[in-house]
Structure 1
């Protein structure tokens, strides 16, 4: 199920919230070092949440003409997302691929845009993988598909167990690849 879009970032409200946060942390938001911080943070979050305005369906339109049904796999697509539980970043790479079926083939950059559309939202890795997979299934109707995300979560590195550098792998496969995945999805 797709995440509902959030309203556009209310910059004045975001800036006021950052000022309040700084005050609650015992900091002076009017100091020379912090005076521009509320504006910078509001702009940061506007960029960080840009995925809510992106429509993966618009990117997953088939190319014209008949193309050979060969596997299309993009490996190591970099992404940065934001953990919805801690508002902390997690980053890694995605491998996304499909074996064209009745839905046709799309341009390679379109797969990158689908990863970005879901990464640039408040997110959890498992849902992000599912959303990418559902977008492929729904709009391309491939004979097979695969999504693998490998990421390091700063919420795990900087709080709780404080264990940095532990990658988390999430893999979803469908169609004929569910039983016999190609090498990029095997490990």
Structure 2
């Protein structure tokens, strides 16, 4: 447990005008520090460790789509959550990636302080790097608590971002197939 984080959370609570020694808050600094370490554990992971050799030879050359991978991240501007789902498509080039690795890639980058636009790009680049695919498409749809709980307080707002690499960017028909499959 990071004692510095615990100390800083205690100071934040006191700075808000609360008594950090009050019964309900006594252990909150330690719990908050532990939660923040979990929510940002992606900083301690690498793509190589995460993939761990789970790239397999395959003759498959048609699109592979993994839909609705849930994600939870923290906005780097307000440290508030954004929650959504990620869709990943790729065109194998002699290799496929183990299915669970896609969710792990999403989590590794989501478990960092982020903006959704950069998260989308990081996931696409990681899938490209891990698979050597002919093309990769990533779309993220998320709801941002920084927009829902504060500021403009728009409860029904969401954000969609996309990154298209290789054939997904260069070939309209490939991009369209990806978008059609996502909405089925």
SS of equivalent residue, structure 1 residue 162: coil
Aligned to 1:47: 38
Change (3 A) 1:22 1:64: closer
Find out whether 1:184 has 2:174 as its counterpart: no
Task: Please say if 1:140 is aligned against 2:137.
Answer: no
The Cα shift of 1:62 comes to 5.1
2: CA distance between counterparts of 1:77 and 1:110?
A: 11
Verify the 8 A CA contact 1:57 1:135 in the aligned structure 2. Answer: no
Q: Pick the aligned partner of 2:8 from 9, 17, 21.
A: 17
Kept in 2, the 8 Å contact 1:144–1:174? The answer is yes
- Match 1:131 to one of 111, 115, 122: 122
Q: In the TM superposition, what is the alpha-carbon distance from 1:75 to its structure 2 partner?
A: 0.3
Q: What TM-score, normalized to structure 1?
A: 0.88
- The answer for unaligned runs of 5 or more in structure 1 is 1-9
1:100-129 deviations in Å (ceiling 9; x for gaps): 015x11111011100000000000000000
TM-score (norm 2): 0.89
- Please state how far the C-alpha of 1:185 moved relative to its aligned partner: 5.2
Cα deviation for residue 50 of structure 1 reads 0.8
Q: Distance in 1 between matches of 2:181 and 2:110?
A: 21
Q: Is the 8 A contact 2:139 2:161 kept in 1?
A: yes
Correspondence 1:76-91 to 2 at 5 A: 76-91=68-83
Structure 2 residue 159 is the aligned partner of structure 1 residue 168: yes
1:111 corresponds, among 82, 89, 102, to 102
Partner of 1:97: 89
Query: Following the alignment from structure 1 to structure 2, what is the Cα–Cα distance between the partners of residues 58 and 32?
Result: 42
Report Cα offsets for 1:6-42 as digits up to 9, x if no partner.
Answer: xxxx621111111111111110001111001011001
Root-mean-square deviation (CA, aligned residues, Å) is 1.8
Task: Give the gaps of 5 or more residues in structure 2.
Answer: none
The whole-number CA distance in structure 2 between the counterparts of 1:149 and 1:123 is 13
